[in-house]
Chain A
Amino acid sequence: MDELELLKKDWKKGENNFPKLSYNQIYKMILKKSSSIVKWIFIISILEFVFWVAISFLLKYTGFADDIGDIESNTAFILMSVISYIILAYFFYRFYMNYRTINTTDNATTLMENILKTRRTVKQYVGFNLIAMVVSVGVLLPYFMEQDPETQTIIEQATANGELLKFYAGIIIVTLLMLAVAIGLILLFYYLIYGILLKRLNKNYRELKKLEV
């Protein structure tokens, strides 16, 4: 006899062995809060948006802004801020629309695809921010060095001592190291999110898509 047929025969018999939950027990359950991954994905995604907005505010309204002085009035800078808010709004809108399509009554593949799509939007936003971070450092650092009188003095001294190359090499190495640490931390955070939340989903999704043409 086919193994599954034997199992099926027993499976039906086992129906009476389950505990019978009462009306009140079930009622109490529906009052409790869910701990599904969709809820966690929503919380983490919102935190990611908040994190990047907070970073841009911190940079703008703390000591760093004073250092770069009149850069606020720079048209290019204002334009960049406006663009970054438009991009934030665009990603947030896409994230929200994708999130709304997550429906537990869809078939398993569609449900998984919608969850992954929602995460992908946030991932793209983080990717955009990382690129923006690298580009801004590349653009702002030379600007800052040109504007800052203290830096100018150091540069002049270094030129007089014939150590200008060493000075620039130091600046570049320190900047690259700092960027690497920041990107490393973000990647670690991602590794953890995916490790904890999405590993099983990704595995199951791959399993479902196997053989599909």
Chain B
Amino acid sequence: MHKELEHSFVELLEKHQNIIHKVCRLYTYDYDAHNDLFQEITIQLWKAYPKFRGDSKFSTWMYRVGLNTAITLYRKSKRRISTQDFNDVQFKISAEEYDDTEEQQLKLLYNAVKQLNDIEKALVFLYLEDKNYKEISETMGISEVNARVKMNRVKNKLRTILNP
């Protein structure tokens, strides 16, 4: 029975592993930290799996446990991009011959997202994953109105970071 459970879990996770990679991408800054968080999310998912009833989609369930691990349970201290590093990135780009390509804009955007706090990142993550406000509010445990207000603030914050 235990072996069967292990097998079905690993198979499902192998199929949906990108969800965990995406959470790690937002919350970590290097390869080692990415792997470490991936490992912890996998363990938390496995621990919770016996209670997974299948009444929600496996992927939906993964979003919840993945985000909970990243913003609440994960213990290792993460290395933040310091303001200095961030300024360097901006400086390098503005020093180059100005080229408003989408790629550069995206680079700045990803850097800006990394500067958000844990909760704001979670909102951005769910938004990027096409979750509606109802799902966002249910995952985070806040009201739908609050989710919308917070998301608007995140957008404004990103704009401020991008255009100081």
Contact = CB atoms under 8 A, between A and B. Distances in A.
Interface of A: 2-4, 6-8, 10-11, 14-15, 18-23, 26-27, 29-30, 32-38, 40, 103-112, 115, 197, 200-201, 203-204, 207-208, 211-213
For the residues of A in contact with B, the DSSP-based class is helix
A27 to B, nearest CB: 5
A108 B140 contact: yes
Given A208-B142, A212-B143, A30 B6 contact: yes
B141 interface: yes
Contacts of A203: 117-118
Contact of B105 (A6, A33, A197): A6
A4 B73 contact: no
B164 to A, nearest CB: 14
A20 B17 contact: yes
Contacts, number: 153
Interface of B: 6, 9-11, 13-14, 17-18, 21-22, 25, 38-40, 42-44, 46-48, 51-52, 61, 64-65, 67-69, 71-76, 102, 105-106, 109-110, 112-113, 117-120, 122, 124, 127-128, 130, 138-143, 146, 149-150, 155, 158-159, 162
B61 A105 contact: yes
Closest 10 CB pairs of A and B: A109-B141, A107-B141, A36-B73, A18-B21, A30-B46, A207-B119, A29-B42, A34-B43, A11-B128, A108-B140
A204 B75 contact: no
Given A10-B106, A26-B13, A104-B48, A204 B140 contact: no
Contacts of A19: 21
B17 A21 contact: yes
B61 to A, nearest CB: 7
B150 A38 contact: no
10 contacts: A4-B127, A7-B128, A33-B43, A36-B74, A104-B65, A105-B51, A108-B67, A110-B141, A207-B119, A212-B146
